[in-house]
Homo-oligomer: A and B are copies of this chain.
Amino acid sequence: MNRHVSTLTITLPDWLNARLTAPIRLPSDEDRMRFVIDLARTNIAQGTGGPFAAAVFRSDDGVLVSAGVNSVTRLTNAVLHAEVVALMFAQARVGAYTLRAANTSYDLVTSCEPCAMCLGAILWSGVQRLVCGATRDDAERIGFDEGPVFPESYAYLERRGITVVRQVLRAEAANVLDHYRRSGGVVYNG
């Protein structure tokens, strides 16, 4: 065992930082999902992590606030699923621990339905809309465990004012997962 660690540094991959230097604005759910799916695909191609990506957008005008890609293997940290990364960076950028603000609403767009941890993180994040691409079944088919997520879990979020939209560009999103399996990608849970 190494010595006591007093600081963790969480970075985005260089290729992702390079894409985020200029402002991005994507008004439709389909355009936002296409952006996120492309990040997931690039995360595989660049060898920087698992086949999942997510991003936070301002609901009304589609301005991109943050993006995240799965970083579990790259940063040896099981918490760093794409949704968690995107939410942490969104909170840092907005400068608040909740995105629930009086005058602005935020969406989390994710290439796959969230696992149990990410579903909880979404609840605490303050986003008011969750848009998903691939389904739990698509993730499980390639060996990823999604954990204890039940219909009641989504109902809980909806009672807290979070709108859930599913299966936006599902086929394209699921294709990325299947590609990951075929390319021999590491399944880091399940």
Contact = CB atoms under 8 A, between A and B. Distances in A.
Interface of A: 1-12, 17, 20-21, 63, 65-66, 72-73, 76-79, 84, 87-89, 91-98, 115-121, 123-126, 145, 147-148, 150, 152-153, 156-157, 160, 188-189
A12 B78 CA distance: 19
19 contacts: A1-B65, A2-B93, A2-B94, A4-B93, A7-B9, A7-B10, A8-B9, A76-B95, A77-B88, A77-B92, A78-B87, A78-B124, A79-B84, A79-B88, A115-B124, A116-B153, A117-B121, A123-B145, A123-B189
Contacts of A125: 78
Contacts of A17: 4, 6
Given A78-B121, A79-B87, A117-B117, 5 more contacts: A1-B94, A4-B21, A6-B12, A73-B97, A150-B152
A148 B66 CA distance: 26
Contacts of A188: 97-98
Contacts of A88: 8, 77, 79
Contacts of A73: 97
Nearest to A124: B78
A66 B6 CA distance: 10
A97 B70 CA distance: 12
A93 B150 CA distance: 33
B12 A10 contact: no
A126 B190 CA distance: 11
Given A117-B123, A123-B116, A148-B150, A76 B93 contact: no
Nearest to A159: B148
